[in-house]
Amino acid sequence: MTSCEAVVAQAQVGKASLYARYAGKDALFTAVVRHAVDSSALSMHAPTLPDGTLRDRLATVGKAVLTQAISPIPLALMRLFLTEARRFPDLIAEVDGMARSRVVDIVARAVTSSHQDYGPSDQAVFVAERFLDLTFAPIMLAALTGRDAGMSASAIESMIAFALDTLDQNGLLQEVS
């Protein structure tokens, strides 16, 4: 973790100013994480969905959310969160829950091809969660460990195809309302 002296130097403020606002490194880290979560750095954006089958919509949304998740800023933040998870378990669990909830919502809305205010059905959320279970972890692990081949466009498409085939074999790719 960065020293408070380095933060003071980078921010070009005095130590007194830093400590007047933050009690120490832990409080500063918490503020930085909360700012990252509140800023656009961690926000996922739903793609424009194609007209077509549930499979087409899931392939489109899957590629979009995975590509956004492994972009430089979210990936760097994920590495930071993993590094500090033991010191800040409640904060990191909160951030993880918020991020997963947002991604599940985006995917579940693609399942129903819906962007209503009242949210997707329980079945759509279930399908979205299974889809993410099958796609997100392997791609994120490849990205976090620097395996470029594991996070290439073809690897993402292959993982999405595997997930869609698995969901289809289990009867979960039926149109959901």
Question: Residues 2-31: pLDDT tens digits?
Answer: 677 787 788 788 888 888 888 888 888 888
pLDDT tens figures, 76-132? 888 888 888 899 999 888 888 888 888 999 999 899 875 556 778 899 999 999 999
With cut-offs at 50, 70 and 90, classify the pLDDT of residue 40. low
Q: How far is CA 92 from the centre of its chain?
A: 13
Q: Which domain holds residue 127?
A: 43-169
Question: CA–CA separation, 141 vs 176, rounded Å?
Answer: 30
Supply the pLDDT for residue 115.
55
Domain assignment present for residue 177? The answer is no
**Cβ proximity of 43 and 69 under 8 Å:** no
Domain assignment present for residue 11? The answer is yes
Supply the pLDDT for residue 114.
57
Supply the pLDDT for residue 32.
80
**Cβ proximity of 155 and 139 under 8 Å:** yes
- Nearest to residue 52, comparing CAs of 164, 158, 166? 164
> Taking all residues of the chain, what is their mean pLDDT, rounded to a whole number?
86
Q: What are phi and psi of 80, to 5 degrees?
A: -60, -45
Other residues' Cβ atoms within 10 Å of the Cβ of residue 44: 17
Question: What are the tokens at 104?
Answer: 């599940």
State whether 139 and 116 are in the same domain: yes
Instruction: Please report, for residues 16, 48, 70, the alpha-carbon distance to residue 153 in angstroms, rounded to integers and kept in the order given.
Output: 48, 19, 11
Question: What are the tokens at 7?
Answer: 């933060």
State whether 86 and 133 are in the same domain: yes
Which single residue is written with the structure tokens 């960065």?
2
State whether 19 and 96 are in the same domain: no
Q: What is the pTM of this model?
A: 0.80
Question: What are the tokens at 22?
Answer: 């933050």
**Cβ proximity of 4 and 13 under 8 Å:** no
Domain assignment present for residue 117? The answer is yes
Domain assignment present for residue 95? The answer is yes
Instruction: Please report, for residues 43, 93, 119, 128, the alpha-carbon distance to residue 105 in angstroms, rounded to integers and kept in the order given.
Output: 12, 18, 8, 8
